[in-house]
Each structure stands twice: as C-alpha cells, then as structure tokens.
Copies of this chain bind each other. A is one copy, B any other.
Amino acid sequence: MSHQIKDPSLATQRVRLWLQMLKAVRSVESNLRERLRNEHDMTLPRFDVMATLCAHPDGLRMTELSEQLVVSNGNVTGIIEKLVEEGLVERQSIQNDRRAHLVKTTEKGRKLMDHVTAEHRGWVDELFEGVSEPDVARAISIMLDIRHHTSR
C-alpha cells in the first residue's frame, strides 16, 4: 500500500532525518565497537548480551533475551555458549518447565560488566558532548515517538 504524502517538503525533511539517524548510529556504533575491542577485547554483540542480562538479574529465557537485545542479533546461542564457558554467564533450570532454562550473569560476569559499563557510559558521554541537556531530552522524546509510531 502506498502512503499519501500530505506535505512534500516535510516528507523530504523526514527522509533526511532518517538518513542522519542511520549515519549517526553507524558512527557512534563503530566508535564504541573499536573501543570495546581495543580496551576490553569485547565484541559489541557480546557487550549487548551481557548488558541486557545485567539489567535482568533474575535471568531471562533465551527467547526473552533475543527480544531485548538492541544491537543486531549476531548468534545469541553461540555468544551465550562462550560466556558460559568463560564463567561469565550461567544457566538455571526452570521449575515445571523441563525444556527451558534461564540464563543469568555470574558474580564474575557482573564484576566485569560493572567496570565495562562505567567506561561505556563515559565514552557515550564524550561522544555526545555536543548535545546539551535540553536537546538530549527533546531527542529522547522524538526517538520514543518514532518507536511508538513504528511498532503500531
């Protein structure tokens, strides 16, 4: 179905915004990817998995974890496999459901992420240094509008 454009000049500006959003996200992402790799020998998908698990200390089912991830999925099962091997994540069986289990961070995983997340926060603060407090608030509300509208 084709959408009827009401205001062509606004439509052009919206396409421009969409391209600038894509470019800004690529740019920040590649900067963060490089720092994570250089300073923590960590990939972005792995950071995403660990950060998501840290935000859910009671653990998540694999399906829930996949839904919550922000970065491109990568191979979530493979990432979890390695994190378990390294003792950063553990599996826990679920009562009354023999086929499913929860994944959650270990003490070691949480300690590592406390450190990495603090650094990550500093990097983002630095990369977004040009964005003032009112602009941050405005931009967050615009991004939420876009998401709510998109997921309808």
Chain A positions near chain B (C-beta within 8 angstroms)? 2-5, 7, 10-29, 31, 70-72, 119-131, 133, 135-140, 142-151
Q: Which of B10, B17, B70, B129 contacts A19 (CB 8 A)?
A: B70
Are the CB atoms of A136 and B21 closer together than 8 Å?
no
Q: Which of B20, B126, B147 contacts A20 (CB 8 A)?
A: B147
Give Cα A151–Cα B31 distance, bound, in whole angstroms: 8
Q: Which of A10, A11, A124, A148 has the most CB of B within 10 A?
A: A124
Q: A18-B128, A21-B143, A130-B148 are in contact. List 4 more A-B contacts (CB 8 A).
A: A5-B121, A12-B121, A20-B147, A135-B145
- Copy tally for this chain in the complex stands at 2
Smallest CB separation, A12 vs chain B (Å):
8
A-side interface mostly:
helix
Are the CB atoms of B143 and A24 closer together than 8 Å?
yes
Q: List 6 A-B contacts (CB under 8 A).
A: A11-B125, A23-B147, A25-B25, A27-B147, A127-B146, A127-B149
User: A146: which B residues are within 8 A, CB to CB?
Assistant: 24, 27-28, 127-128, 130-131
User: A125: which B residues are within 8 A, CB to CB?
Assistant: 3, 5, 10-11, 14-15
Contact flag A17-B150 (CB < 8 Å), given A11-B121, A11-B124, A22-B70:
no
Smallest CB separation, A39 vs chain B (Å):
8
